Amino acid sequence: MNVFARLLVMILVAIVGDSSLTHAADKLKVVATTADLAAVARAVGGDDVDVTTLARPTEDPHFVDAKPSFIRIVNQADVLIEGGASLEAGWLPPILDSARNSKISPGSPGRVVAAQGIALLEVPTQLDRSMGDVHPQGNPHFMLDPVAAKTVAQTIATAFCAVDHARCTDYQDALGRFRAAIDGKLLAWQTTLAPFKGTKVVTYHKDFDYFAERFGLEVIDTLEPKPGIPPSPTHLTELIPKMRSAHARLILIEPYRERNNPDFVAEHTEARVLVLPAMPDAKDTPDYIALVDSDVRQLAAALGEKPARP
Amino acid sequence: MERAWRRCPFVAAFLVAAMAVEPMTSGGQTSQPDELRQELEEMKEQLRRVQEQMKKQEAIIQKQQVVIDKLTAQKPAAAAVGGAPPPPEQVQAAAAPPTAPAPAPPAPTTEKPREPWSPSQPITLLSGARGYMNISFDALMDFGWSTTANVTAIETGDHDPLQRGFTLPNEEIFLDGAVDPYFKGLADLVFKLDENNNTDVELEEVYLTTTSLPWNLQTKAGQFFSEFGRINQQHPHAWDFVDQPLVIGRMFGPEGLRNPGTRLSWLVPTPFYSEIFLAVQNSQGETAYSFRNSGTEFFGRPPLDRTVRNPGDLLYVPRLVASFDLTDSQTLVTGASGAFAPNDSGTSTRTQIYGGDLYWKWKPSWQAGGFPFLAFQTEALGRRFEAGPVGGAAPLPSQALYDWGIYSQLLYGFTQRWVAGVRADWVSSNANGLPPADRLAGRFRWSPNLTFYPTEFSKIRLQYNYDHGKTIPNGDDSSVWMQVEFLLGSHAAHKF
């Protein structure tokens, strides 16, 4: 017990000595589970907020480790933004339990569930795990749809206003600018991709469904036989003829996916593999609009090329 | 908004124009500048009109959304109990673009109508955000063989394989959820079959946790696994091996350290994660194995049945844990724990158990499905046992006895769904020769294993154990165990 008492004293001394914690900046502390949500939060919050992202932009957002350091980050948050629709169900709950932060408890103004207000696709009418890891509330990968992002920005701005009344006009102004920027870009994006309307594509996971719907692509199947189940030989042998007869042009995959199966399928069909980031990355795509811009450009470039095997 | 495209033919015209203009502008060929300028003006005008139309449509959609939200809010409870989610179709139809890129039909009536509920449809227990309680059932099944016929001579846990052939050591019903704005509740009811196929029931854990205490405090009350080290807090289905480590069996017995009590924890406001726990629990019974455990004879001392005379006779379990992110993909967790309470070998004898634990995990920034990863975990425990004096024919003095042990394990998730592991176990003591000496004699074990996780809801594991030590029949033993798990219902997320 003596040892513990000593450690306690040492830690207390450390805390008192650490001025960065006791005199935190006046900014709203915002924690976003994924980088896409963080990007929208930055667009709305600007310099008034300090946004921390939990999941790394390059990793599979379903399978993030509930690292203890997240507990401390969430503990100090004024606002927590999660995707919702069970996207983070595998790792966020234990963090929230340990973080003991009532500002972000469910239903509090500081708790933002981005999926609220979004009309989710693929809501199952029946829950049955033999169909794979189907999220009961619907497909949670809606952030690549710029119209959904506008709604999310609205949701975030509402939360920022509720938590931080004083700077509400800032947030509303930034929201207006973000929405206008999206509106301005949307038509250009749709114009860029208009020639490819109806193009049939295959994705690895159901990550690009909203994006495809928005820009007129048709996702005919996934490499995964069922959500969350890795590609199986049986499924691929069925998928390849299906893609051939449908003249599927692209296999869209996220950067963290393995390449063996996509490459194998590409070899046996006229489709190409296109790695399309679903998350903004500090280097190439610093914000949300840059991300969609880059994805649209890459898509148009890939579709503009001739099919691999006409 | 997408409907705007269909309803307004000029949009299509605009697009064609835009496409026609695109190559010219990018190519820098402006042979007919005036015409082009005029076209641009037209396009601007069209764009303005399209945007206006889009705004109008969005306003309508938002109004519809409000109405829909109100309607769905009025009847979610009734709908949820019946197993049917609130109808999302209208919402989808209103706000989302239609699924098919087919140009003709103006109204999105292609949505599949929801099938009406029929009595033959299975009733689905809802989980997650839809119910007041998460419910799950987890079953562990073991099958295997050992060179000794007496498996309990090599395995130390109640949730380990118990015999050659088949064992169902841990079938648990797990319930949890928010009680109200102040508490979360959890219950874990375990069923298991013993060697004679009788069903044992255990109220393994039942506790509530506070959710809104100030100053980063949190309390727990009920029956719970003491927060000592890492393995002791985990339920068998979360273990990385078929059986519990030997040192855990030595210190905490077949059931682990858990008893009714209360626990206070403080999340320390350090820049890194650190937390201090202090549990006060009852100190008797086989779930307080090294303490007032009247069922087990220690070091030749027949147990007395001591009562609680003062608060010092309760069990105290302090723990300090800290974690550091070494790099973007490496995390370290270290902890120190203690457990202090009286034991039953004398009228004023006590036991102290100390433990240190370390966990390191590497998971690269490009992980998919949680793979690949590499994880190292080790726990070392030492026990000081004050043994009371024994008179009579075989007198024993009052003495302090020590024993200790360690396990280390390395797990490598080498490809999606596959994990290879190896664990080394070692225990020893200075109590050799005291009856029943064999229980605390030195032992060693090697356990390589391979686990296949079809999904997070099932696993198939194959493990080999090589056991060596005086207490092992014939000095050493080889055993092979296969373990199968399935989980129904909601899957509680695992702690790090």
Q: What CATH number did the domain enclosing A180 receive?
A: 3.40.50.1980
Q: Are residues A84 and A141 in the same domain?
A: yes
Instruction: Give the one of A68, A100, A195 whose C-beta lies nearest to B218's C-beta.
Output: A100
In this structure, is residue A8 part of a structural domain?
Answer: no
Measure in Å the smallest separation between the Cα of B394 and chain A Cα atoms.
36
Nearest chain B residue (CA) to A217: B101
Mutate to test the interface with A, among B365, B373, B384, B411 (most CBs of A within 10 A): B365
Map tokens 């790695």 to a residue: A275
B394 shares contact with chain A (CB less than 8 Å) = no
Measure in Å the smallest separation between the Cα of A251 and chain B Cα atoms.
17
Under 8 Å CB-to-CB from B159, ≥6 apart: which residues? B140, B169, B170, B192, B236, B244
Instruction: Give the one of B1, B130, B274 whose C-beta lies nearest to A147's C-beta.
Output: B1
3-state helix, strand, coil in chain B (%, to 5): 20, 40, 35
Map tokens 């695109």 to a residue: B22
Domain count, chain A: 2
Distances (CA, A) of A51 to A62, A82, A293: 21, 13, 22
d(CA B95, CA A154): 15
Measure in Å the smallest separation between the Cα of B162 and chain A Cα atoms.
32
State pLDDT tens for residues A169-193.
999 999 999 999 999 999 999 999 9
**Can you give the pTM of this predicted structure?**
0.80
Contact present, A80 and A110 (Cβ < 8 Å): yes
Chain-chain contact of A100 with B216 (C-beta, under 8 angstroms) = yes
CB count within 10 Å of CB B69 equals 13
d(CA B382, CA B400): 13
* Relative orientation angle of helices A168-193 and A146-163, to the nearest 10 degrees: 180
Measure in Å the smallest separation between the Cα of A60 and chain B Cα atoms.
5
Whole-number average pLDDT of chain A: 90
Q: Are residues A94 and A145 in the same domain?
A: yes
Give the residue among B426, B121, B480, B26 at the shortest CA–CA distance from A192.
B26
State pLDDT tens for residues A219-253.
999 999 999 999 999 999 999 999 999 999 999 99
Chain-chain contact of A91 with B493 (C-beta, under 8 angstroms) = yes
d(CA B97, CA A290): 23
Instruction: Give the one of A11, A20, A100 whose C-beta lies nearest to B274's C-beta.
Output: A11
In this structure, is residue A6 part of a structural domain?
Answer: no
Give the residue among B240, B380, B353, B362 at the shortest CA–CA distance from B289.
B353
Chain-chain contact of A68 with B496 (C-beta, under 8 angstroms) = yes
Please, which contacts does A304-308 make with residues 24 or more away whose CB atoms are closer than 8 Å?
A305/A272, A307/A247, A307/A249, A307/A270, A308/A266, A308/A270, A308/A271, A308/A272
A2 contacts on B by Cβ (under 8 Å): none
Chain-chain contact of B88 with A258 (C-beta, under 8 angstroms) = no
Under 8 Å CB-to-CB from B331, ≥6 apart: which residues? A65, A67, A68, A69, B323, B324, B325, B360, B361, B496
Chain-chain contact of A136 with B130 (C-beta, under 8 angstroms) = yes
In this structure, is residue A128 part of a structural domain?
Answer: yes
Under 8 Å CB-to-CB from A141, ≥6 apart: which residues? A87, A205, A206, A207, A208, A209, A210, A278
Chain-chain contact of A98 with B18 (C-beta, under 8 angstroms) = no
Map tokens 């998928």 to a residue: A239
B218 shares contact with chain A (CB less than 8 Å) = yes
Domain boundary among A143, A165, A186: A186
Q: Are residues A27 and A76 in the same domain?
A: yes
User: What per-residue string of b and e applies to B385-398 under the rule 16 or more CB within 10 Å gives b?
Assistant: bbbbebeeeeebee
Domain boundary among A164, A186, A208: A186
Sign of dihedral through CA atoms B385, B391, B395, B398?
positive
B348 shares contact with chain A (CB less than 8 Å) = no
Residue A3 clears pLDDT 80, i.e. is over it = no
Q: Are residues A44 and A170 in the same domain?
A: yes
CB count within 10 Å of CB B301 equals 22
Chain-chain contact of B331 with A65 (C-beta, under 8 angstroms) = yes
Q: Are residues A55 and A170 in the same domain?
A: yes
Chain-chain contact of A56 with B365 (C-beta, under 8 angstroms) = yes
Under 8 Å CB-to-CB from B104, ≥6 apart: which residues? none
Residues 223-282 of B with CB under 8 A from A: 267-276
d(CA B138, CA B483): 13
B320 shares contact with chain A (CB less than 8 Å) = yes
User: What per-residue string of b and e applies to B173-206 under the rule 16 or more CB within 10 Å gives b?
Assistant: ebbbebeeeeebbbbbbbebbeeeeeeeebebbb
d(CA A203, CA A251): 5
Instruction: Give the one of B361, B370, B495 whose C-beta lies nearest to A63's C-beta.
Output: B370
Q: Are residues A152 and A255 in the same domain?
A: no
Distances (CA, A) of A227 to A36, A144, A221, A234: 21, 19, 11, 15
B193 shares contact with chain A (CB less than 8 Å) = no
In this structure, is residue A309 part of a structural domain?
Answer: no
A218 contacts on B by Cβ (under 8 Å): 100-101
pLDDT of residue A8: 58
Contact present, A280 and A287 (Cβ < 8 Å): yes
Contact present, B360 and B386 (Cβ < 8 Å): no
Q: Are residues A290 and A161 in the same domain?
A: no
Q: Are residues A175 and A273 in the same domain?
A: no
In this structure, is residue A172 part of a structural domain?
Answer: yes
pLDDT along chain B (496 residues), means of 10: 46 47 41 65 73 74 69 50 40 39 38 44 44 91 94 92 94 94 94 92 96 94 97 94 96 95 96 97 94 82 86 97 96 98 91 98 94 97 91 83 95 96 94 63 94 94 95 90 94 80
Instruction: Give the one of A102, A198, A228 whose C-beta lies nearest to B212's C-beta.
Output: A102
Please, which contacts does B99-106 make with residues 24 or more away whose CB atoms are closer than 8 Å?
B99/A213, B100/A218, B101/A197, B101/A198, B101/A216, B101/A218, B103/B6, B106/B3, B106/B6, B106/B7
d(CA B162, CA B116): 49
Number of inter-chain CB pairs under 8 A, A vs B = 188
The DSSP symbol for A189 reads: H
Instruction: Give the one of B121, B275, B495 whose C-beta lies nearest to A94's C-beta.
Output: B495
Instruction: Give the one of B178, B269, B496 whose C-beta lies nearest to A65's C-beta.
Output: B496
In this structure, is residue A85 part of a structural domain?
Answer: yes
- What ipTM does the predicted assembly reach? 0.88
Nearest chain B residue (CA) to A126: B84
d(CA B304, CA B325): 48
A99 contacts on B by Cβ (under 8 Å): 267
d(CA B118, CA B391): 75
The DSSP symbol for B117 reads: P
Domain that holds residue A143: 14-186
The HSE-up count of residue B129 (CA atoms within 13 Å, CB side) is 17
Q: Are residues A202 and A146 in the same domain?
A: no
Under 8 Å CB-to-CB from B469, ≥6 apart: which residues? B441, B442, B443, B444, B475, B476
Domain boundary among A186, A212, A233: A186
d(CA B160, CA B451): 16
Residues 70-99 of B with CB under 8 A from A: 84-85, 88, 91-92, 94-97, 99
Mutate to test the interface with B, among A123, A201, A207, A296 (most CBs of B within 10 A): A123
Q: Which residues pair with B170 in a beta bridge?
A: B140
B393 shares contact with chain A (CB less than 8 Å) = no
A53 contacts on B by Cβ (under 8 Å): none
Give the residue among B373, B278, B279, B267 at the shortest CA–CA distance from B323.
B267
Chain-chain contact of A123 with B51 (C-beta, under 8 angstroms) = no
CB count within 10 Å of CB A235 equals 18
Give the residue among A139, A142, A104, A99 at the shortest CA–CA distance from A122.
A139
In this structure, is residue A173 part of a structural domain?
Answer: yes
Nearest chain A residue (CA) to B69: A117
Q: Are residues A179 and A250 in the same domain?
A: no
Could you give the maximum distance between any two Cα atoms of chain B, in Å? 120
State pLDDT tens for residues A18-66.
444 434 458 999 999 999 999 999 999 999 999 999 999 999 999 999 9
Chain-chain contact of B101 with A216 (C-beta, under 8 angstroms) = yes
- The C-alpha angle with vertex B136 and arms to B134 and B142, in degrees rounded to 5, equals 160
Residue A79 clears pLDDT 50, i.e. is over it = yes
Contact present, B371 and B348 (Cβ < 8 Å): no
Chain-chain contact of B267 with A62 (C-beta, under 8 angstroms) = no
State pLDDT tens for residues A196-226.
999 999 999 999 999 999 999 999 999 999 9
Chain-chain contact of B323 with A68 (C-beta, under 8 angstroms) = yes
d(CA B135, CA B490): 6
A94 contacts on B by Cβ (under 8 Å): 493-496
pLDDT of residue B250: 92
Return the structure tokens found at B433: 């020769």
d(CA B106, CA B9): 12
Mutate to test the interface with B, among A3, A126, A200, A206 (most CBs of B within 10 A): A126
Q: Are residues A40 and A165 in the same domain?
A: yes
Taking residues A76-89, report their average pLDDT. 95
Q: Are residues A172 and A203 in the same domain?
A: no
In this structure, is residue A39 part of a structural domain?
Answer: yes
B126 shares contact with chain A (CB less than 8 Å) = yes
pLDDT of residue B494: 79
pLDDT of residue B280: 98
